[in-house]
A = this chain, B = another copy of it.
Amino acid sequence: MPSDRTSAGDPARTLALLWRDPSATPRRGPARGLTVDAVVDAAVTLADREGLAAVTMRRVAQALEVVPMTLYTYVPGKAELLDLMLDAVYARMERAASTGRPWRTRLTAIAGENRALFEIHPWSAAVSTLRPSLGPGSIAKYEHELAALDGLGLSDVEMDDCLTHLLSFVQANARAAIEASAARAADGRTDQQWWDQAGPLLARVLDPGAYPLAVRIGSAAGAARGSAHDPEHAFHFGLARVLDGLATLIERGGPAGAGERPPAP
Interface positions of A from 213 to 265, Cβ below 8 Å from B: 213-214, 216-218, 220-221, 224, 228-229, 233-234, 237-238, 240-249
Q: Is the interface of A mostly helix, strand, loop or mixed?
A: helix
Whether, in the assembled complex, A113 has its beta carbon less than 8 Å from a beta carbon of chain B, the answer is no
A202: contacting residue among B134, B202, B212, B234, CB under 8 A? B134
Whether, in the assembled complex, A11 has its beta carbon less than 8 Å from a beta carbon of chain B, the answer is yes
Whether, in the assembled complex, A176 has its beta carbon less than 8 Å from a beta carbon of chain B, the answer is yes
Instruction: Kindly report how many copies of this chain are found in the complex they form together.
Output: 2
Smallest CB separation, A160 vs chain B (Å):
4
Q: Which residues of B contact A143 (CB under 8 A)?
A: 210-214
Interface positions of A from 99 to 157, Cβ below 8 Å from B: 128-132, 134, 139-140, 142-143, 146-147, 150, 156-157
Whether, in the assembled complex, A96 has its beta carbon less than 8 Å from a beta carbon of chain B, the answer is no
Q: Which residues of B contact A214 (CB under 8 A)?
A: 139, 142-143, 146
Interface positions of A from 1 to 31, Cβ below 8 Å from B: 2-3, 5, 7-8, 11-12, 15-16, 19, 21
A156 and B234 contact, Cβ closer than 8 Å, known pairs A169-B172, A180-B130, A205-B15: no
A238 and B165 contact, Cβ closer than 8 Å, known pairs A183-B7, A211-B143, A220-B157: yes
C-beta contact mask, A190-213 vs B, less than 8 Å → 1, else 0? 000010011001100110001111
Whether, in the assembled complex, A37 has its beta carbon less than 8 Å from a beta carbon of chain B, the answer is no
Smallest CB separation, A172 vs chain B (Å):
4
